[in-house]
Amino acid sequence: MMNRSAFCLILILLLLLSGCSFLPTNIVNEIDMAQGVGYDLAEKKNIKGTIVFPIFKKDKTSTTEVRTAIGKSSKEIRSILNNETRYTLVSGQVRVALYGKKMAKKGINDFVDTLHRDPAIGSLVQMAIVDGDSNELFKMKKYKNENVSIHIQELLEQNMKMGLLPQTNLQSFLFQFFQIGQDPYLPLIKKEKDNIRITGMAIFKDDQYVTSISMEDLFIFKALVDINRTGLRQFILEKHDNVVLDTLGSKVKYKVKIVQGRPEFTINLKMKTRLHEFAPSEKQRQSFDKKKYQKQVEQELEKSAINIINQFKKHQVDPLGLGAKYKEHYRGFNEKQWNMYYPNVKVVVNADIEILQTGTVD
Amino acid sequence: MQANIRHQVSPYLVFFIIYNSQVGVGILSFQRTIAAKAGYDAWIGVLVAGCLVQAFIWVMYKLLGKTNGDIIDVHTTIFGNGLGKFLSFFIMIYYWLASISVLIGFIEIIQVWMFPTMPSWILSTIILLSVYYCVSGGFRVIVGMSFLSFIFPQILLIVLFIFPLKIAHFSNLLPIMSHSFMDLADSIKSSMYSIAGTEALLMYYPFIRDPKASKKFAHLGVLFTTILYTISAIVSFTFYSENQLKTTLWPELSLTKTVTLSFLERFEYLYISMYLIIISVLIALFLWCSSRGLKRIFNRKQKYTLLLLCLLSIILCQFNGSFKDMLNKYIIQMNLWIFYGYIPILLLVLTFLKRGKQNDE
């Protein structure tokens, strides 16, 4: 009996000991939680880092604080900024990481590495490339009282769920970056007057920004890399018939054929859509001719798909992961040989568009 | 030499003991080591390793069934008292080192993921205190704990398998069998150690009420863990790209980073804390084996051998880094040679010996 109680005493003592001196305490209103980080290129090979954190006040609305420092690495920037803040900066709440376009052209791997390495940072952090300076974007006056990093995070997530952006985050970037035969892509955002707006998709070669695709091509791009659930696109067809379609679901299949030792790709795209708006060129009320327009929309989509694929080939980037698909089907895959083949590889796109509903009118 | 019926456990509980002895820190990181050479074909290696373990279970039941006791009885019947105890001593050392390797692995996880400033000795002391408490309750307490440690963490494991499935790339596994046989053999070898642990049966066999009836539960237990390990490997392989997996130290723990709940941002804190149950029961089982063996070899009370082992473990846990790598390297070798080389030979020797004796009569 004596033994038991002595045992318990030791246990309690030990827990007290460890609780008091060896564990750093982080009380929630005594830390500054970084919610957004941004990196831009500064002069002399230095990096301008920006950290955004909210400040909560009693009886007042909370404000966001934006701090900037210049340094060589992201943790150096953090330690410089730590000298300015009232409480310690912690990184567990980072929701969005932005990279300036100029810096992205030099490669962002060093800055993604620190997000990847830190056990406190989740892998669903949103990443985006800023056409311009990420610092300016964070400092916008309009979002002084509204939390700017959460605004950007929700802007991106909303568009991935309901709009035209394919799903991207830290995990998808790392996956594509490390995957043989695939290059990553991230959303491109821009400050326009006093608004933040998504302007397209940045396409990388390894970790370097190479080219971008515009909003118009995002409809087909998303259908090719992700599942298109509720994207909206306007088609201006022959004779300037204006058709606006909304996807209900899409499915894409890649087929690889080896012809004379070289790969050939066939992309079969199936899409179910509904008509959202119809403005025929003849100013006469007419019922919607499904078959005729389906055909025309298919041709239009195939054309724009081939267009962006040609653009990728020209820049030697492979965001669709054609190389990875080739590797899956061909045991003798050789990365160097594939890189040689890629600019001239034959890709055929077959779109199969079905207009299921025309709304409440015919 | 069966143990007293008061200390024995029902045959079906062997399922849980086997499960618990096989699942440790290995499952959090083995995906990376098995894929080092065999790439994404390595999950086949896990299945093959599972079959080998099934064969090993069969060998152990044959061997122990002949003397109806533990490994020390087997050794003494074959080699006599002195040499038999000397050889058993090595196996007890293996059990002890295996428990230390689990402990060090788990302490490293706590330090990297949760409390970077916490010194090792505090963590090892706290874990070993609860382990000591568990072991001093006897074998039945350990079995009861392993039943609990089977039930609770399963729920978490299932969550961990379902969340990543939303973004799984199953085509990663293609083309199947694109690696050479030697590469696959390497993945079998590295998964052997991750799913090792069944060798504890060599010590607790006399504590099973009806050993013959328990045999099928032991095989079922191994089947269950093999499937668990294979699924876990496939989930990781479909979630990470191959080079990404090679950079990730704990692929299974990094999977938790994708789980965000509105009321809980960091799921891994919950996961690692829950994992403490699994780990402490595993360490308890191995330390029980080791201390009971030493008790029988040196004729001391189990309390003292257990205390000695715990104290030595705390001291060894202070050595991190290169010591850990060296320890793991030796244990993997020991595990392979002792249990997949030496024990089957022992079975052969014992079979011939018995036959010879029968002929004499």
Q: Is B258 in Cβ contact with A171 (below 8 Å)?
A: yes
Q: Which of A4, A174, A318 is most worth mutating to test chain B (most B CB atoms within 10 A of its CB)?
A: A174
Chain A neighbors of B134, CB-CB under 8 A: none
Q: Is the pLDDT of residue B288 over 50?
A: yes
**Residues A32, A81: Cα–Cα separation, whole Å:** 11
Which residue in chain A is spatially nearest to B167 when comparing CA positions?
Answer: A172
The string of pLDDT tens digits covering residues B79-127 is: 888 898 999 999 999 999 999 999 999 999 999 888 888 888 888 888 9
Distance from the B116 Cα atom to the nearest Cα atom in chain A, whole angstroms: 9
CB B122 to CB A14 under 8 A?
Answer: yes
DSSP states of B245-310: HHH-S-HHHHHGGG--BTTBS-HHHHHHHHHHHHHHHHHHHHHHHHHHHHHHHHT--HHHHHHHHH
The per-residue pLDDT for range B329-346, each reduced to its tens digit, is: 888 888 888 888 888 888
Query: What are the structure tokens assigned to B172, written together?
Result: 């990663």
**CB distance A49 to A68 below 8 Å:** yes
Q: Tell me the nearest-neighbour CA distance from B267 into chain A, angstroms.
A: 10
Give mean pLDDT, residues B242-260. Answer: 85
Taking the C-alpha atoms of residue B258 and residue B269, their distance in angstroms, rounded to an integer, is 13
- The closest CB to that of B129, out of A11, A123, A179, belongs to A11
Of the candidates A331, A185, A144, the one whose C-alpha atom is nearest the C-alpha of residue A256 is: A331
pLDDT score recorded for residue A355: 84
Total count of residues recorded for chain B? 361
Shortest CA gap A92–chain B (Å): 9
B290: tokens are 């080791």
Tokens 């195939």 sit at which residue? Answer: A302
Q: Which of B113, B139, B124 is nearest to B5 (CA)?
A: B139
Confidence band (pLDDT; 50, 70, 90) for B47?
Answer: very high
Query: How far, in Å, are A281, B72, B84, B344 from residue B76 at the CA level?
Result: 99, 6, 5, 17
pLDDT at B93: 92
Judging contacts by C-beta atoms under 8 Å, the chain A residues touching residue B122 are 14, 17-18, 22
Instruction: Report chain B's mean pLDDT, rounded to a whole number.
Output: 86
- Searching chain B, which residue's CA lies closest to the CA of residue A327? B175
Q: In chain B, what residues touch A15 (CB-CB under 8 Å)?
A: 126
Of B112, B178, B243, the CB nearest to A178: B243
Q: What is the CA radius of gyration of chain B?
A: 21
pLDDT tens per residue across all 362 residues of chain A: 557 777 777 777 667 665 656 666 677 777 888 888 899 888 878 888 888 888 877 777 778 888 888 888 877 888 888 888 888 888 878 889 999 998 889 888 888 888 888 888 888 899 999 988 888 888 888 877 778 888 899 999 988 888 888 889 899 999 999 988 899 999 999 988 888 889 999 999 988 999 999 888 888 888 888 876 777 777 777 777 788 888 888 888 889 888 888 889 999 988 888 888 888 777 677 777 778 888 888 888 888 899 999 999 999 999 998 888 888 888 888 888 888 888 888 899 998 888 888 778 77
Answer yes or no: are the C-beta atoms of A164 and A80 closer than 8 Å: no
Q: A45: left (phi > 0), else alpha (psi -120 to 50), else beta?
A: left
Please, which residues have CB within 8 angstroms of residue A146's CB and are 6 or more apart in sequence?
A64
Q: Which of B27, B104, B35, B41 is nearest to B247 (CA)?
A: B35
Is B149 in contact with B20 (CB distance < 8 Å)? yes
State the pLDDT at residue B361: 42
CA distance A7 to A346: 74
Q: Is the ipTM of this complex over 0.85?
A: no
Contact map slice: B 166-205 vs A, CB within 8 A: 167, 169, 171, 174-175, 178
Contact A328 B243 (CB under 8 A): no
Q: Convert the pLDDT of each residue in B220-239 to its tens digit.
A: 999 999 999 998 899 889 99
A180:B241 CB<8 A = yes
Q: List CB contacts (< 8 A) between B265 and chain A.
A: 92-93, 122
pLDDT for position B99: 92
Residues paired with residue A266 on neighbouring β-strands, in sequence order:
A255, A348
For residues B335 and B53, the answer to whether their CB atoms sit within 8 Å is no
Contact (Cβ atoms closer than 8 angstroms) between residue B268 and residue B253: yes
Q: State whether residue A18 sits within 8 Å of chain B by CB.
A: yes
- Residues 298-317, chain B, touching A (beta carbon < 8 A): none
Asked if omega into B153 is within 30° of 0 (cis), the reply is no
* Residue A119: closest C-alpha in chain B: B113
Put simply, the answer to whether A22 touches B125 (Cβ < 8 Å) is: no
Chain B CB contacts of A184 below 8 Å? none
Quote the pLDDT of residue B174: 78
CATH topology of domain B5-344: Amino acid/polyamine transporter I (1.20.1740)
Report CB contact under 8 Å: B265, A122: yes
Nearest to A22 among B119, B247, B265 (CB): B119
Residues of A in Cβ contact (< 8 Å) with B120:
none
Closest approach of A22 to chain B, Cα-based (Å)? 6
Gap from A2 CA to chain B (nearest CA, Å): 15
Better pLDDT: B134 or B3: B134
Backbone angles phi, psi at A64, to 5 degrees: -110, 140
Q: Do A178 and B175 touch (CB under 8 A)?
A: no
* Comma-separated ranges of CATH 3.30.300.210 domains in chain A: 227-362
Q: Is beta strand A63-71 parallel, antiparallel or unpaired with respect to A36-41?
A: unpaired
Q: What angle do CA A106, A109, A112 make, to 5 degrees?
A: 130
User: B35: which 2 tokens?
Assistant: 């894929």
pLDDT tens digit string along A62-98? 788 888 888 888 778 888 888 888 888 888 788 899 9
Of chain B residues 239-298, which have a CB less than 8 A from chain A?
239-244, 247, 254, 257-258, 260, 265-266, 268
- Least CB–CB distance from A22: residue in B112, B122, B175: B122
Q: Which chain B residues touch A256 with a CB distance below 8 Å? A: none
Which residues lie below 8 Å from residue B109, measured CB to CB, with a gap of 6+?
B25, B28, B250, B253, B272, B275
Q: Which fold has domain A227-362?
A: GMP Synthetase; Chain A, domain 3 (3.30.300)
- All residues at 6 or more sequence positions from A34 whose CB lies less than 8 Å from its CB, including other chains: A51, A52, A53, A89, A90, A91, A93, A94
What is residue B357's predicted lDDT score, i.e. its pLDDT? 59
Contact A328 B119 (CB under 8 A): no
What is the residue type of A146?
E
Predicted pLDDT of residue A184: 93
Q: A261 and chain B: CB distance < 8 Å anywhere?
A: no
Residues 6+ apart with CB under 8 A from A182: A176, A318, A319, A320, A321, A323, A324, B241
* B167 vs B211, more confident: B211
With an 8 Å Cβ cutoff, are A22 and B115 in contact?
Answer: yes
Residue B258 and residue A124: Cβ atoms within 8 Å?
yes
pLDDT at A258: 86
Cβ pair B241:A175 closer than 8 A: yes
CA–CA dist B311, A324 (Å, integer) = 53
Q: Does B126 touch chain A (CB under 8 A)?
A: yes
Q: What whole-number distance in Å separates Cα of residue A330 and Cα of residue B143?
A: 50
A201 pairs with which residues across the strands? A187, A213
Question: Would you list the DSSP string of B21-71?
Answer: HH-STHHHHHHHHHHHHHGGGHHHHHHHHHHHHHHHHHHHHHHHHHHTS-H
- For residue B1, is pLDDT > 60? no
- Residue B182, SS3 per DSSP: helix
On chain A, the residues whose CB falls within 8 A of the CB of B241 are: 174-176, 178-180, 182
